[in-house]
Amino acid sequence: MSLVGVLLQIVAVVLALHLLGLGAVRWVIGREFRGSSLRENARAVAPTAAVLGALLLANGTVRDVGVGVSWLIGVNVTKVIHSLEGAFVADLQSFATPELTAYFSFVYVFGYVFLLTFPVVLYAFHDDTRALSATLVAYTLNYGIGLLCYVLFVAYGPRNFMPGAVESLLFSNWPEVQHLTARVNENTNVFPSLHTSLSVTVALLAARYRTAAPGWLPVATTLAASVAVATMYLGIHWLTDVLGGILLAAVSVAAGARYAEEKHGDDGPGDRPPVTGGVTEQFRR
pLDDT tens digit sequence for 171-203: 988 888 887 887 778 888 999 999 999 999 999
Query: What DSSP character marks residue 87?
Result: T
What pTM was estimated for this model as a whole? 0.89
Q: What single letter denotes the amino acid at residue 103?
A: Y
Task: List the beta bridge partners of residue 76.
Answer: 154
Reported confidence tier of residue 263, pLDDT bands at 50, 70, 90:
confident
pLDDT for res 178 = 84
Q: Quote the Cα angle for 220-181-75, to 5°.
A: 90
Residue 6 to residues 13, 110, 164, 180, Cα–Cα distance (Å): 11, 11, 28, 7
pLDDT for res 100 = 97
pLDDT for res 149 = 94
pLDDT in tens, 3-42: 888 899 999 999 999 999 988 887 766 566 677 778 899 9
pLDDT in tens, 86-137: 999 999 999 999 999 999 999 999 999 999 999 999 999 888 899 999 999 9
Length of the chain (residues): 285
**Backbone phi, psi, residue 230, to 5°:** -60, -40
pLDDT for res 267 = 53
Region 253-270: mean pLDDT is: 81
Reported confidence tier of residue 204, pLDDT bands at 50, 70, 90:
very high
Task: List the beta bridge partners of residue 75.
Answer: 153
As a whole number of angstroms, the distance between CA 168 and CA 178 comes to 11
Q: What single letter denotes the amino acid at residue 246?
A: I
Region 242-258: mean pLDDT is: 98
Q: What single letter denotes the amino acid at residue 161?
A: F
Contact between 232 and 240 (Cβ < 8 Å): no
